[in-house]
Amino acid sequence: MASNKKILLKVVILGDSGVGKTSLMNQYITKKFSNQYKATIGADFLTKELIVDDRAVTMQIWDTAGQERFQSLGVAFYRGADCCVLVFDVTAPNTFKSLDSWRDEFLIQASPREPENFPFVLLGNKVDLEPRGISTKRAQQWCQSKNNIPYFETSAKEALNVEQAFQCIARNALSQQNQNDDLYNEFPDQIKLSQPSKSSGSGDSCAC
């Protein structure tokens, strides 16, 4: 059923300011890298057409502002995301520590149907730089504790692992969408009926 319809995958990139979210996206889409830092304001997206498992998909990648002062705008784009990419800087331990907050915030605001199985991908960026602040082992341990999140060590500057990481992101996003489609197709009526009560209930429990 899904093969006829145009598939749009919505991916959200999150992480502290300066970890390289915009650089990773630009490297993946335009194959360019700039050493100059320019803070992202609010959020914006770019799209890329690609083939995943023999299916043509359009990936819509939402790049976000890491800096608090540029976050005054809302995050309505979280809703309906198919995959969330968390990014930290392997040379800056603080950016690793805030991953939990980013993940929690995302799950609360996006309120996906199954928060436990929602696909996240972790990227440790700037591996071209020394010294390392967060070891591979430590990052992998964190991923295991969060239901085996895939982990990639990347360098946006040297285009290291960027293509592979986004292929994985696209695949996970697609599987998430398929699952949702299956759910809809199996019990279309039931879900429609139970949705309002379910969503309001979960919101209440998250809030406090």
Binding segment toward another protein, per CB under 8 A, in 15-23, 115-123, 132-140, 166-174: 132-140
Cα–Cα distance, 204 to 196 (Å, whole number) = 12
The nearest distance, CB 163 to another protein, in angstroms, is 25
The nearest distance, CB 171 to another protein, in angstroms, is 24
The nearest distance, CB 73 to another protein, in angstroms, is 4
Q: Which of 4, 5, 137, 197 binds another protein (CB under 8 A)?
A: 137
Cα–Cα distance, 65 to 26 (Å, whole number) = 15
Q: Which residues contact 65 (CB under 8 A, 6 or more apart)?
A: 17, 39, 40, 41, 42, 43, 71, 73
Is 33 an interacting residue with respect to another protein (CB under 8 A)? no
Is 151 an interacting residue with respect to another protein (CB under 8 A)? no
Type of residue found at 57: V
Which residues in the 45-104 window bind another protein by CB under 8 A? 45, 62, 71-79, 93, 97, 101, 104
Cα–Cα distance, 12 to 68 (Å, whole number) = 17
Applying CB under 8 A, the site for another protein has a residue count of 34
Is 114 an interacting residue with respect to another protein (CB under 8 A)? no
The nearest distance, CB 207 to another protein, in angstroms, is 4
The nearest distance, CB 41 to another protein, in angstroms, is 5
Burial bucket for residue 159 (CB in 10 Å: 0-12, 13-18, 19+): middle
Is 206 an interacting residue with respect to another protein (CB under 8 A)? yes
Q: Where are the beta strands (DSSP E) in the chain?
A: 7-14, 43-52, 55-64, 83-89, 120-125, 151-153
Is 192 an interacting residue with respect to another protein (CB under 8 A)? no
C-alpha distances (whole Å) from 3 to each of 6, 54, 55, 134, 168 are 7, 10, 7, 41, 20
Contact footprint for another protein (CB under 8 A): 41-45, 62, 71-79, 93, 97, 101, 104-105, 108-109, 111, 135, 137-138, 199-200, 202-204, 206-208
